[in-house]
Amino acid sequence: MNPRIDWSAVRERVVALEEAERRAKGPEPSPYPVFEPVLTPEEIAEVEAQYGVRLPDEYRAFLAEVGAGGPGPELSLTSLRRIRGSWGWVWDGDEAHPWQLDPGGPFVETEGWAAQQVATLRAAGHEPTERGGEDHRLDDYREAFGDAGDELWYLERGRGAIHISDDGCGMTTWLVMVGPHRGELRHRDCAVDPPFEPSVDGRGDRHSFGTWYLDWLERHERAAR
Domains and CATH numbers, the chain: 10-107+158-224 (3.40.1580.10)
* pLDDT tens digits, 165-209: 988 888 999 999 999 999 999 999 887 778 999 999 989 999 999
Give the pLDDT score at 209: 97
Give the pLDDT score at 135: 58
Cα distances from 12 to residues 20, 41, 102, 221, in angstroms, run: 12, 21, 33, 12
Name residues whose C-beta falls within 8 Å of residue 76's C-beta, 6 or more positions apart in sequence.
33, 69, 70, 165, 166
Which one-letter DSSP state was computed for residue 91?
Answer: S
Q: Residue 39: count other Cβ atoms within 10 Å of its Cβ.
A: 22
In percent, the amount of the chain with pLDDT more than 90 equals: 73
* pLDDT tens digits, 83-138: 999 999 999 889 999 999 999 999 999 999 989 999 999 999 999 887 655 557 88
Task: Inform me whether the pLDDT recorded for 72 exceeds 70.
Answer: yes
Q: What is the mean pLDDT of residues 25-47?
A: 84
**What span, in angstroms and rounded, lies between the C-alpha atoms of 51 and 165?**
20
User: pTM of this prediction?
Assistant: 0.91
> What single-letter amino acid sits at 174?
W
**What span, in angstroms and rounded, lies between the C-alpha atoms of 151 and 156?**
8
